[in-house]
Copies of this chain bind each other. A is one copy, B any other.
């Protein structure tokens, strides 16, 4: 029926152990032997059974993406970046969604580890700073990489952008455009990135010697609806902001919607900027000024840290880039 390593061994006149060596690129295989085996593999169109390799070996050839994020675009880009890197090594990606609010979070993750024993786990915000999750992975001895962590930088390899600098640059852009009353819609408080972006927003004001209206920093949950709510609040003020910098493109799109509903001209009456440069940023009207965050690359590198031979605590900072469009 299905061709196995035995068939290849038979066809090439060697033992299955030698076939295994060739398949796994081990050393100490004679060049002619290797060639014979490879020819048989090609002729029989042999593909090693994944379950058997996992069971017999110590590796599962699987990496799990553990994330709980409100943005499908973010999650999908993460998946793609991780797959891009894992495919090269013949590693599968397990991508179940998790719910950080669920009492089952830890049990679900523990079940995943017990049943599938992933070779590595990639954590994205806010789970990359979730102490219970970190403790569980440590207890189970599972390697992991973190995307955009906020706490304990040396704990594990991680990838990130400089969120403080990025938010500072974006805010500075708004100040350069002449704005003095700039509001900020922050993301969920359990995301380290939220506080980092608030810090950058404040740093830009400090540098320019501009005082921030105490009511101008409001919090959202990184999604469209919360961006709309927050913008409604801001624009209802007696002295509304002339610019709104949202901590995500989805929230910025929500703010944009509210501005349109109120009949405001953008950027004439209110300028709006986002963060991320999701596809959405280019799809709305006017297109959003935003800060490009290379999600797919953050993911690719996180997978690379797991699969390659990176230092145990290697940190990779990727470049961000201001993208100025018509909304500011």
Contact = CB atoms under 8 A, between A and B. Distances in A.
A219 B175 CA distance: 44
B285 A257 contact: yes
B280 A283 contact: yes
A52 B49 contact: no
A110 B280 CA distance: 35
A287 B224 CA distance: 13
Q: How extensive is the interface on chain A, given as a class?
A: 35 or more
Nearest to A55: B51
A95 B45 CA distance: 23
A163 B50 CA distance: 40
Interface in A260-283: 260, 279-280, 282-283
A116 B50 contact: yes
A47 interface: yes
A231 B48 CA distance: 50
A87 B282 CA distance: 35
Q: Which of A48, A116, A285 has the most chain B CB atoms closer than 10 A to its own CB?
A: A285
A111 B45 CA distance: 9
A287 B2 CA distance: 53
A72 B115 contact: no
Contacts of A250: 283
A3 to B, nearest CB: 8
Contact of A60 (B51, B110, B253): B51
Contacts of A95: 79, 95
B279 A224 contact: yes
A109 B87 CA distance: 14
Contact of A48 (B47, B115, B253, B286): B115
B224 A115 contact: no
A256 interface: yes
A283 B51 contact: no
A108 to B, nearest CB: 10
A44 to B, nearest CB: 11
A97 interface: yes
A73 B282 CA distance: 15
15 contacts: A2-B117, A49-B114, A49-B115, A49-B117, A51-B54, A72-B279, A73-B73, A83-B96, A92-B94, A224-B283, A250-B283, A256-B285, A260-B285, A280-B283, A284-B285
